[in-house]
Amino acid sequence: MPHEIPAPMLAKSVPEVPGPDAVAGGLSFEPKWDGFRALISWDGESVEIGSRGAKPLTRYFPELVEAFSRLLPEPCLIDGEVVVPKDVGGKQRLDWDSLTQRIHPAASRVKMLSEQTPAMFIAFDLLARGERDLLDEPFAVRRAELADLLGGVPHPVHVTRTTEDAELARRWLSEFEGAGLDGVVAKPLAQPYAPNKRTMFKIKHARTADVVAWAYRVHKSGQGVGSLLVGLYGDDGTLLPVGAVSAWSNSRRLELVDELAPLVERDESGEAVTGAGEKSRFTGADKDMSFVKLRPEKVLEVRYDQLEGWRFRHTVQFERWRPDRDPRSCTYDQLETVSAYDLGDVLD
């Protein structure tokens, strides 16, 4: 039987790369891969790919199941990330959209995508090797065992690079974003693996942008604003949806309904104009995706980490209202441009 898959160890956000003496025993730094967190259990006969949530990923990545069965030298339990690379302008980068499309209910579609957009696995921790449980070993020991186990294993299985040099980690934070990575992770060298505990540190990019509110969704409770939909103007003058702002307090959600009421678009009968957004394969079937349309007259400043195509990669955080800004001035030109960086150089 494959090793039992535990809950993964987690990370807490910190604003900057910590110094090497931030914790007793020192820190190991590594790139933060932007993919699906996955724990791989291999018993010599069968493979299981567990996810951070309760949903197994095994059936969605048959090419990785085949690769693990063929390449892993002995039974083991590995923590890592499933990612999909894509060629952009002659350089490889991570492609989140292609990765999310791999989660599909149809076996025929899964097979087709496994051939068209094959995934690879980035290993960054080893929890068991053979019959030995390594959870209680310090990370320094687990990392050495991981390098020994997978050091000679070829693509699509890779071992993430690490460093104990905080200055180099800061350079990675800047450079590797160009290959689609998400930041840097710092791991205490002396600590054991702690399932479901935030004992690691993650450092992500933090930026701000002025965006236009164009709609809101009602909170799932049925009262107040659940999320505010925001956009930026493109080169042709079209307001393009770029993401959503949420995480309001209960009282603030109710206040926002009143504050936004004068901006609600209404039809000839005086009824609020509504619409419905598309559901992704990660959205529950019963989730209400409808929204109330607003006149695009209110500007807000938000904090974000990175873009994925023309949209914010993650939910953005409200910073402040910007009554001094003309909505039409909220364009993509204000966003920081990241230099392309080849994924292959990250893997080396």
Q: From 186, 247, 258, 204, select the one nearest 9 (Cα to Cα).
A: 186
Q: Is 12 a catalytic residue?
A: no
Q: Under a CB-based contact definition with an 8 Å cutoff, are residues 310 and 195 in contact?
A: no
CA distance 127 to 137: 9
DSSP element (H, E) containing 343: helix 343-347
CA distance 242 to 233: 10
Strands (E) across 239-330 are located at 239-245, 274-276, 290-304, 307-308, 311-312, 317-321
Q: Considering the candidates 32, 204, 293, 298, report the single residue annotated as catalytic.
A: 32
Q: What is the token pair recorded at 165?
A: 């040099």
Torsion over CA: 31, 82, 51, 338 (sign): positive
Q: From 169, 195, 173, select the one nearest 28 (Cα to Cα).
A: 169
CB atoms within 10 A of CB 19: 12
The 10 Å CB-count burial string (b at 16+, else e) for 73-85 is eebbbbbbbbbbb
Q: Under a CB-based contact definition with an 8 Å cutoff, are residues 145 and 133 in contact?
A: no
DSSP element (H, E) containing 260: helix 250-260
What residues form DSSP beta bridges with 207? 304
Which amino acids are annotated catalytic? 32
